[in-house]
Structure 1
Amino acid sequence: MARESFDKEIQFLRMLVLTSGAYNRQQFAERLGISVHTFDKTIRRLKEIAAATQQQTSEEQSKEFADAVRYSYYDSADPRLLFLFRAKSLKDSESQRLALLLAAMHEKPQTALELLDLCCSGPTADAALFPDEKTIRSDLKYLEEVGVVKREPGARPYRYRIQNDLVRGLNDDELLDLLHFVDVMANTQVPSVQGYLLRDQLKRSVRRQTEANADEDSAAAGLSFLYKYHYYSRILDEAHLFTLLAAIRNRSKVTFVYFSPKTEQSYASKNTNPLFERDSGGKPQTALPIKVIYDHQYGRWYMLANNSREGIRKYRLEGMTQLAEGESVPEELFVEKRQELEQRIKHSWLIDTGGAVKVRARFFNPGDQSPNFVRERVLLQGQWGEIVEEEADSFIYEIIVNGTTEIRPWLRSFGSSCEVLAPRQLREEMIAEWKEIAAYYESV
C-alpha cells in the first residue's frame, strides 16, 4: 500500500469504530473527505487485508466487515484494528517475496545470490514477480535493520540467517513465562503495537515447541489473562509514533497535512488531476517535534513541536496525515527550543501552556474505612501537588498548574469526595457542571 492509502485506511477505521454505525455511506464519505466510490474500494481493500492477516472462521468471514470491526471488541480481548499493522503496508509482491526469503533463511544461512536463485527458480516462482539482485540486497538490508535477520561473521559473500537466538535459547517454561510477561506489558503499557506483534510471534514459537514435544500439553500456549481494550482506536496513532520519535532523535523537522479536531473532515485524498482539485480542509505544516505525550485519561497521543511562525504548537496525532521526515536542525537550536518547551509546560497537568494558577481543593476521607483510598489516590495521581492541611474528616490539597481545563476532569472524578475551594472561577464552573448533572436525574 502507498503511504497515502495507509493514512486513508487509518482514518477510515478510526471513524468506523467511533461512529458505531451512525453514518450511512454518503455521510461517512463526506466526513472523511472521499467519494462513495473510494469508500467502497477501501472497504474491499480492508477486507482483503483482514482475510490475509487474520485466522477467521467461516462465520466471521460471512459477517459484514463494518459490523465485524465495529462490534468485535465486545466479543474479543484482542484489538482487531491491529490487522492494519500486521499488513505492514507492503505490496502483494513484497509480502510474497519477504515470506519466501524468511522461510529459506529459517532452514539455513543463505547468501544474496542463493536467495535470488530461489526466488527465480522455485516451483512457485511467478515470472511477473522476478526480483533482481539489487532488490534482494535491499530486502536483506531492510530485514537486518528491523532485527529480523542477522549477518553471520565471515568474509564475502555474506550469509544471512533468521535472528531468533532469544527464542532458541529458552526452554519451554522460560518461553511461556516470557510470553505471559509480554502479554501483560502490551496490554498495560504504551506504545503497545510492537508488544502485540512480539506476543503473536512468541505464541507461534510456544505452539511450535509444544507441538514438537509430545509430552507437553498444547494448551500451554494459552494466555493467563484477558484484557478489555478501552481506547480502541489508540493503536492507530502509533503508525506515526516511531517516525516522530526518530525525528526527535535526529533533530529533524517533519512535514504533514493536519486536520484539527474542529474541522469537519479528518482526511482528504490527493487528486492528481488539476481539474478535480479542491480544498481538502487540512493544512500543510512544517514543524520541529520536541516531545510526544500520551494522555491516559482520553487515550490520545500529542506531538509538542516548534513551528517557525507560531512558536510552541500542540498537535493531536490522530489528525496528522502524509507525515514525512525533513531536514535536520543544529543541536544548539534544538536544545534551545526544548528548554523553551520545558519551561512552558513546567506546571502543565498534561500539555496546557496557559497561565499558572493555584488550585486548592478539600478532599473528604471515606468515613472509618481503612486504608484511606481517597488520600492514597491523591498522593498517587496528584503529581507535584501537596497536602497542606489535614483534619479528622478531610484534608486540603494545593497545586500550581497551567490553567484548569486539564485538571478539572480529575477533580470531578472524585464526586462528592472533592470540593474545589479556589480559584473562584473553577469553583463556579464545577457548581454549574454538577447542577447540570443533577438535572439529568430529576424525576420526569
Structure 2
Amino acid sequence: MARESFDKEIQFLRLLALTGDAYNRQQFAARLGISVHTYDKTLRYLKEMMNANQQGLTSEQDMELSEAIRYNHYESADPLLLFLYRAKSIKASEGVRFALLLSSMREQALTAMELMDICSEAMPADYPVPDEKTIRGDLKYMEEIGVIFRTDGKRPFRYRASTGLVDALSEDELIDLYDFVDILANTQIPSVQGYLLRDTLKKALRLRGLDTDITESHVYKYHFHSRILDEAHLYTIYQAIEARRKLTFLYLSPKKEKRYASKNTNPLFERESEGIWLTVLPLRVIYDHQYGRWYLIAHQTKQGVMKFRMEGLTGVELSDAVTAEEFDIRLAHAERNLQQSWVIDTMRPIPVKVRFFRPEGSKHDFVRERVELQGQWGTITDESETTFIYHIVVNGITEIKPWLRSFGSSCEVLAPSWLRKEFIAEWKEIQSYYEPVREDL
C-alpha cells in the first residue's frame, strides 16, 4: 500500500485516540485535512482490518474501533501501531499462508513440497494457491528471521517451527515470561518488537488453555499513542543515519490545526498544502519521556540545525548520501548545540538553583531518588537533614520548568530570580482556583 495512505491512517488513529467521539465527521475530517468522503472510506477500511484481526474473539471483545480505544484507555491494550503493522506489513493472502505454514511445521518437520500440498488442500477458495517458488521464498524468509529452522542438512530440506524456548517452559514460567514482556513492552522504547513478542507468548498460553491466566493484571498505561505511532518513522530514520543519507519529507507543524496533507488528484478537492517539503540530513533521534514525543535532529543547508516533532512527518523517503566527513562535522556541531539541553532546547545556557524538601515522616526519600534518576548532569549538595540543593546549567528553562513544577511543594526555585517570580505567580493563580465561592463553604 502507498506510504501516503500509511501516514494518513497513523494520523487518523492518533486523532481518534486523542479525541474519541468529541468531533463529528465534518469536524474530524477538517482537523485531519481530508474530505468527509475520505474520512468515511478510511474509517471503513480500518474497521475491516480490525474485524479481520479479531476473528475468533467473543462478542464482548468484538467492538467498534472508537469503543475499543476508549475501553482499553487505562489498560495495557495492544497499541494502535501494532494493529497497523499486523494489517499492512503483509498482504492478506500472505498472512493466511504464513499462518498455515507455521501451524503445519509446529507439530512435525516438513519439506517444501509437502507444505505446498498442504496449502493446496487447506487454502481458502478466495485466495490463490501458492506455487513451489512462492513456498521456497516463504521458507527462506522465515528461516532468515529465525521463525523456522532446518532439522538436518540432507536434501530435501525439512523445516520446523522454532518453538523450543516456549515449549521448554513450564506453565508458571511461561506466565511469568509473558508478564515480564508485557511490562517491558509498555515501558521501554522502541516497543513494537516487544508487543510482537508479547502477542506470540499470548498465543502460546492460549494453546495451553491458559486464557484465564493472561488477563490484563497490570493496570497501567505508561505509553502514549504518539510514542508508539511515531515508531513507524523510526526505522527509516535510523536507516538513513546509519547510511549517512538525507531524508525528504513533508512537515506539518503540530502547532497548526491540520494534521495531514493528502496528495489531491481530484481537482474539486485541490488545495494548497499547509506543510513544507524539506530535504535534511538526519543526525539524532531524541525521546522526551515527560510528554511521550519523538524528535528528529537534522541539518538543513540553509537553516543549519533543525528540530522536528516526528508526529509532523509524512511521506518520509530516503534521499542522497553524504560523505562520512560531512556527516561527522554536522553531527559534532549539533551535539555542541545540544550539550546542555534538557531535551532539545538550544537557547542560551542558564544556571538554575533549586531547593528540594525531603518527604516528612517518611523513611524513604523518594524525592532525592527521583532527582538523582531524572536530574541528568545536575549536581546535588546536602543543605540540612530535610533539604538539599540542586544545581544545573541548562539551555533555556522551557523544557526543565514542567519537571520542576511536577514536584509541587517539594521544590523551591532559588535562581534565577525571574524564574522564581514566575513560579510564585503560577502557584498563586492555582491557589485562586480553589478559593471558596462562599465564605461559609
**TM-score, normalised relative to structure 1:** 0.86
**Separation (CA, whole Å) in 1 of partners of 2:252 and 2:67:** 27
Q: Secondary structure at 1:305's aligned position in 2?
A: strand
| Contact 1:7/1:322, CA 8 A, preserved across alignment | yes
Q: Which residue in the other structure is 2:429 paired with?
A: 436
Matched letter for residue 306 of structure 1 = H
Structure 1 residues 56-85: Cα deviation after superposition (integer angstroms, max 9, x where no partner):
432454x543233234325x4324524223
Q: Which residue in the other structure is 2:199 paired with?
A: 200
The structure-2 alpha-carbon separation of the partners of 1:172 and 1:187, relative to structure 1 and needing over 3 Å to count, comes to same
Q: Which residue in the other structure is 1:270 paired with?
A: 263
Within 5 Å, give how 1:185-334 maps onto structure 2.
Answer: 185-208=184-207, 210-211=208-209, 219-220=212-213, 225-229=218-222, 231-273=224-266, 276-334=269-327
Gap runs ≥5 in structure 2: none
Q: Comparing 146-155 with 326-335, which one deviates more in the overlay? A: 146-155
The structure-2 alpha-carbon separation of the partners of 1:403 and 1:24, relative to structure 1 and needing over 3 Å to count, comes to same
Q: Which residue in the other structure is 2:59 paired with?
A: 58
- Structure 1 residue 362: deviation in Å? 1.9
Structure 1 residues 156-214: Cα deviation after superposition (integer angstroms, max 9, x where no partner):
76655433343244444443332232122112222222212211211222332x34xxx
Matched letter for residue 185 of structure 1 = L
Q: CA RMSD in A?
A: 2.9
Q: Secondary structure at 2:249's aligned position in 1?
A: strand
Q: Comparing 281-290 with 95-104, which one deviates more in the overlay? A: 95-104
| Contact 2:113/2:132, CA 8 A, preserved across alignment | yes
- Structure 1 residue 32: deviation in Å? 0.5
Matched letter for residue 318 of structure 2 = E
Matched letter for residue 14 of structure 1 = R
Q: Secondary structure at 2:73's aligned position in 1?
A: helix
Structure 1 residues 393-423: Cα deviation after superposition (integer angstroms, max 9, x where no partner):
4332210001101110111112222221222
Q: Comparing 257-266 with 267-276, which one deviates more in the overlay? A: 267-276
Q: Comparing 174-183 with 138-147, which one deviates more in the overlay? A: 138-147
**Separation (CA, whole Å) in 2 of partners of 1:127 and 1:218:** 31
Within 5 Å, give how 1:150-161 maps onto structure 2.
Answer: 150=149, 154=153, 160-161=159-160
**Separation (CA, whole Å) in 1 of partners of 2:31 and 2:132:** 45
Within 5 Å, give how 1:31-430 maps onto structure 2.
Answer: 31-54=31-54, 56-61=57-62, 63-74=63-74, 76-79=75-78, 81=80, 82-109=82-109, 115=115, 119=119, 121-124=120-123, 126=125, 129-131=128-130, 135-150=134-149, 154=153, 160-208=159-207, 210-211=208-209, 219-220=212-213, 225-229=218-222, 231-273=224-266, 276-388=269-381, 390-430=383-423
Matched letter for residue 205 of structure 1 = A
Q: Which residue in the other structure is 1:27 paired with?
A: 27
Matched letter for residue 235 of structure 1 = I
**Separation (CA, whole Å) in 2 of partners of 1:113 and 1:327:** 44
- Structure 1 residue 266: deviation in Å? 0.8
**Separation (CA, whole Å) in 2 of partners of 1:304 and 1:346:** 13
| Contact 1:79/1:229, CA 8 A, preserved across alignment | no
Matched letter for residue 162 of structure 1 = A
| Contact 1:175/1:206, CA 8 A, preserved across alignment | yes
Matched letter for residue 225 of structure 1 = H
The structure-2 alpha-carbon separation of the partners of 1:224 and 1:125, relative to structure 1 and needing over 3 Å to count, comes to closer
Q: Which residue in the other structure is 1:214 paired with?
A: none
| Contact 2:115/2:135, CA 8 A, preserved across alignment | yes
**Separation (CA, whole Å) in 2 of partners of 1:157 and 1:363:** 70
- Structure 1 residue 367: deviation in Å? 3.9
- Structure 1 residue 338: deviation in Å? 2.2
The structure-2 alpha-carbon separation of the partners of 1:110 and 1:325, relative to structure 1 and needing over 3 Å to count, comes to farther
- Structure 1 residue 435: deviation in Å? 2.7
- Structure 1 residue 292: deviation in Å? 1.7
**Separation (CA, whole Å) in 2 of partners of 1:142 and 1:277:** 42
| Contact 1:386/1:398, CA 8 A, preserved across alignment | yes
State the identity as a percent: 58
The structure-2 alpha-carbon separation of the partners of 1:142 and 1:319, relative to structure 1 and needing over 3 Å to count, comes to farther
Structure 1 residues 354-384: Cα deviation after superposition (integer angstroms, max 9, x where no partner):
2111011222333454333333332232111
Q: Secondary structure at 1:122's aligned position in 2?
A: helix
| Contact 2:79/2:228, CA 8 A, preserved across alignment | no
- Structure 1 residue 115: deviation in Å? 4.8
The structure-2 alpha-carbon separation of the partners of 1:21 and 1:128, relative to structure 1 and needing over 3 Å to count, comes to closer
The structure-2 alpha-carbon separation of the partners of 1:143 and 1:225, relative to structure 1 and needing over 3 Å to count, comes to same
**Separation (CA, whole Å) in 1 of partners of 2:250 and 2:156:** 44
- Structure 1 residue 351: deviation in Å? 1.5
Structure 1 residues 105-149: Cα deviation after superposition (integer angstroms, max 9, x where no partner):
445555556655654x33535476345555555544543454433
Q: Secondary structure at 1:426's aligned position in 2?
A: helix
Matched letter for residue 326 of structure 1 = S
The structure-2 alpha-carbon separation of the partners of 1:93 and 1:59, relative to structure 1 and needing over 3 Å to count, comes to same
Matched letter for residue 58 of structure 2 = T
**TM-score, normalised relative to structure 2:** 0.87
